[in-house]
Amino acid sequence: MGNLVVCFGRIYHESIYRVSIYLDLHSNFYQTRIYFAWVWNRVGLNAIFLFRKMRNQSNSPIDRLTHISNALGDPNRVRLLAACLDQERCVCQLVALIDLSNASISKHLGQLRDAGLLQSRREGRWVHYAIPEQPEPIVAQSLAFVRAHAMRDELIMQDRATLTNIDAIDPNDLARMQREGCCPDLRCCPPRPTNTPTVSQGEQS
């Protein structure tokens, strides 16, 4: 219900803002009536879309589990979630971590957020992601499972080492380098095994 109120509030303020701009620029009454009709038609369409989305959503345990399982069904999304387990991350840091476009990273993060595994907040032009402060039980269990099992994966451990390099760079500088296309590769390579020659017993003697 809270999301519904917030959504209608945004639609209402957007409508009033657009109407006020138009009235400042135009004084023709007939054109104003047409513009009012267009604005409120858009409000109605947004409301219909919202109600359909709410109707299609279900809070039953099996549907929530399916939603979370689908969100965790991609290795890159698991890596993004693992990167946000210990601290909040901005999108530019996650783009530097995983070799994907900004749009792809944002799409993956949106799926994790829709499943309740991550929450986002906007600070100016920055969008930060972190795990929920008070997750519902099924989300808390899913996060605990990721922390217990995925964190032992070799690629995830490599990501943790890479995040150490990323954290050493100011996010403003990191975003600027990404825009200019001169961001260095901060990803850490896994340690290569040293091939030491084996000595047989015959050679030792």
- Kindly report, residue by residue over 52-71, the tens digit of the pLDDT: 555 445 567 888 889 999 99
Q: Are strands 126-130 and 119-123 parallel, antiparallel or unpaired?
A: antiparallel
Strand partners, 128: 90, 121
Which residue has better confidence, 184 or 192?
Answer: 184
Q: Whole-angstrom distance between the N-terminal and C-terminal Cα of the chain?
A: 81
Residue 118 pLDDT exceeds 90: yes
**What global pTM score does this model have?**
0.64
Mean of all residue pLDDT scores within the chain: 75
For residue 47, CA distances in Å to 12, 14, 43, 118, 178 come to: 11, 13, 6, 26, 38
Top mean pLDDT of 20-29, 49-58, 150-159 is at 150-159
Give domain limits for the chain: 2-57, 62-180
**Top-tier CATH class for 62-180:** mainly alpha
